[in-house]
Amino acid sequence: MKSNAQSSELSFDARQIHEIGLRRPSDVTVNLQVVIPYTTPELTKAALRHAGVCTDLNVHVSLVDIQIVPFPCPLDQPPINKQFSAQRLRDLLRESGVPGSAEVLYARDWLDGFCHILEPRSLVILGTKKRWWRTREEKLAGALVKAGHQVMLLHS
């Protein structure tokens, strides 16, 4: 059986990040960097609305979509349509009116993908549905807090 260190090395050997425009002009100073993981369109819109409230703080949103690529497929040739993922993120940012950028990351594991792409002590806004069991987003929030990030969990 392989150790965790070996499996995480395999996860990111051929990692690819596709960055999608919509960046803030370089002459404007950014006071607040916020990362919003893409989960569902409704939950991501709710998180973008909350980030948009902070317009006087010169907020810059990084919308991140982690696409899971099954093991037999190479990471540099995912079976997922790259243009569809990019367009979905662009549309969400355009609708929200919040300045920011969008990134699509192809990885083997959802949690490892977020831990790998986030800067130390990042501010993350996550939307989740109210359930009596722990949702996938709540599990991600707990893991990110353990990793040293600041997480705002929005229940809807």
pLDDT band at 21 (very low <50, low <70, confident <90, very high): very low
- C-alpha 61/C-alpha 43 separation (Å) is 15
C-alpha closest to that of 63 among 2, 29, 18: 18
Q: How many residues does the chain have?
A: 156
User: What is the residue type of 16?
Assistant: Q
Beta bridge pairs of residue 127: 154
What was the pLDDT predicted at 143? 93
pLDDT band at 145 (very low <50, low <70, confident <90, very high): very high
Residue 154 φ/ψ region, left for φ over 0, alpha for ψ in the -120 to 50 degree band, beta for the rest: beta
Q: Per residue in 28-67, pLDDT tens?
A: 566 789 999 999 999 999 999 999 887 778 889 999 999 9
Cβ burial of 111 (10 Å; 0-12, 13-18, 19+) is: middle
Q: Of 47-61, 83-97, 119-133, give the lowest mean pLDDT range.
A: 47-61
β-bridge pairing 16-20 and 32-37: unpaired
Domain 4-155 has CATH 3.40.50.620: yes
